[in-house]
Structure 1
Amino acid sequence: MILQARGLVRSYGATPALRGVTLGLAEGEILAVTGPSGCGKSTLIHCLAGILRPDAGEVLYLGQRVDTLSEAARSKLRRGAFGVLFQFGQLVAELTAAENVALPLMLAGTGRREARTAALSWLERLGVAELADQRPGEVSGGQQQRVALARALVTEPRVLFADEPTGALDTLAGEQVLGHLVRLAREQGTTVVLVTHEPRIAGYADRELTLRDGVIDATGMGLTDKAVGA
């Protein structure tokens, strides 16, 4: 297993979001996490990515605890081994597309010229090379999300966390982004945790895990048995 969660519990005040979630992902697997709004999907992915610490339980990456790491160590993990793609991209408005994509590499110590070369290569792979010198406000939502995907993948992460990556896009743009995400993940052997409430998006995954009220719904476990569920 490349990534595991054991007995994750997380609450916001008196409101429980996760109530003992256990799961495991095989290397290269694409897992869809589905369920209704408010069921704990985003909280789960944020705990797995080290953005949030669970109140109880463990998150392990290659057998090493993530949840006990310092904030600085968890941030470093997200700049290298982990990539994160959010629903609205969260690009830096003042930076061009190429600068946005190069940013994670530069934060990790890569030189400006080398980082820009890598950024341009990824923008080309995602079919938006012509946007390199444009800012987010100058391009469409679907184009912004492809730039955000390039930024999430430019460090060639072992695990990609995608939280409702097509939720703000129309059907065509969403299909294009998901097509690129799955193709590139397969090419690189990247493990993907994909949060969605849309069945057609979950259909891109190898396996589906359904959350309801902060627990795994054992009746909705299924696309394949490639990896270990709860």
Structure 2
Amino acid sequence: MSTPLLTGRRLFKAHGSTPALRGASVELHPGEILAVTGASGSGKSTLLHCLAGIVRPDEGTVEYAGERLDEASEARLGELRRTEFGVVFQFGQLIPELTAVDNVALPLLLAGTPRQAARERAIAWLERFGVRGQEALRPGEMSGGQAQRVSLARALVTGPKVVFADEPTGALDSLSGEQVMTALTHTAREAATAVLLITHDAQVAAYADREVTLRDGVLAAEAAEVAR
């Protein structure tokens, strides 16, 4: 297998007096879809937040393309999340005051893309995820499935090298969840984007190339690669 694109080594993280990670180590390779599974409270979301540079581990190292993220400045981490990282949360976390097209265009605007060009790219991504025609809707006017597709478009619009997806179907019914996962994995494979997928759902994990299980803050087992 290729050299890892993203690596977390011996990661420890506590929330107050409660340990979340107890020495977890994980590797993500270019173009790979990796599912991290485990029960609620096993540390899955904390692992994602450490790997994406959203929080810093108390101990251990995070390395992306040869760069130490656990030592990087907040400005550098913010730059990576605007350009090379895309993040999808369980409930989308769209900005409620913005329309669908403006939510998707926002990362491009923050990166300096001219407004018209950003909107055109945003509309193209909304179309790819099957929500063209919903550009003017605000999050409160969308169904759960529509909002999560808009979130996926926002995460991918910058052409990131890594997408971090934290329970992306957790708030959806089974049909909407299947549609979202199909759209995410198809687009990621087409663009050779690596995906770190956090889930407790075996059906969602089945979309991945590889699955690891987190128990009590440690990667306890690694499943065989999923035949596709």
TM-score range for the pair, normalised by the shorter chain length? over 0.9
The aligned counterpart of 2:65 is: 62
The aligned counterpart of 2:189 is: 186
The aligned counterpart of 2:123 is: 120
* Inter-partner Cα distance in structure 2 for 1:203 and 1:223: 11
Change (3 A) 1:15 1:101: same
User: Does 62-71 or 170-179 show the bigger shift?
Assistant: 62-71
Instruction: Give the CA deviation at 1:223.
Output: 3.4
The ranges of structure 1 where at least 4 consecutive aligned residues each deviate by more than 2 angstroms after the TM superposition are none
The answer to whether the Cα contact below 8 Å between 2:26 and 2:219 also exists between their aligned partners in 1 is: no
* Inter-partner Cα distance in structure 2 for 1:83 and 1:138: 24
Residue by residue over 1:26-65, the C-alpha shift from the partner in whole angstroms, topping out at 9 and shown as x without a partner, is 1000000000000000000000000010001110001110
Query: Which amino acid in the other structure matches residue 150 of structure 1?
Result: A
The answer to whether the Cα contact below 8 Å between 2:6 and 2:64 also exists between their aligned partners in 1 is: yes
Query: Which amino acid in the other structure matches residue 213 of structure 1?
Result: D
The aligned counterpart of 2:154 is: 151
The aligned counterpart of 1:75 is: 78
User: Does 133-142 or 194-203 show the bigger shift?
Assistant: 133-142
Q: What secondary structure, in the 3-state scheme, does the structure 1 residue paired with 2:31 have? A: coil
Q: What secondary structure, in the 3-state scheme, does the structure 1 residue paired with 2:70 have? A: coil
TM-score (norm 1): 0.95
The aligned counterpart of 2:26 is: 23
Query: Which amino acid in the other structure matches residue 188 of structure 1?
Result: A
Q: How many residues align?
A: 224
* Inter-partner Cα distance in structure 2 for 1:30 and 1:66: 21
Structure 2: tracts of 5 or more residues without a match: none
Instruction: Give the CA deviation at 1:118.
Output: 0.4
The answer to whether the Cα contact below 8 Å between 2:104 and 2:122 also exists between their aligned partners in 1 is: yes
The answer to whether the Cα contact below 8 Å between 1:205 and 1:223 also exists between their aligned partners in 2 is: no
* Inter-partner Cα distance in structure 1 for 2:73 and 2:67: 13
2:10 is the alignment partner of 1:11? no
Q: Where do 1:1-230 residues align within 5 Å? A: 1-218=4-221, 221-224=222-225
Instruction: Give the CA deviation at 1:110.
Output: 0.7
Instruction: Give the CA deviation at 1:225.
Output: 8.6
* Inter-partner Cα distance in structure 1 for 2:34 and 2:192: 13
Once the two structures are aligned, what percentage of the paired residues are identical? 61
* Inter-partner Cα distance in structure 2 for 1:16 and 1:68: 21
The answer to whether the Cα contact below 8 Å between 2:208 and 2:226 also exists between their aligned partners in 1 is: no
TM-score (norm 2): 0.96
* Inter-partner Cα distance in structure 2 for 1:160 and 1:146: 14
Q: What secondary structure, in the 3-state scheme, does the structure 2 residue paired with 1:131 have? A: coil
User: Does 149-158 or 6-15 show the bigger shift?
Assistant: 6-15
User: Does 204-213 or 14-23 show the bigger shift?
Assistant: 14-23
Q: What secondary structure, in the 3-state scheme, does the structure 2 residue paired with 1:79 have? A: helix
Structure 1: tracts of 5 or more residues without a match: none
* Inter-partner Cα distance in structure 2 for 1:126 and 1:74: 27
* Inter-partner Cα distance in structure 1 for 2:226 and 2:67: 24
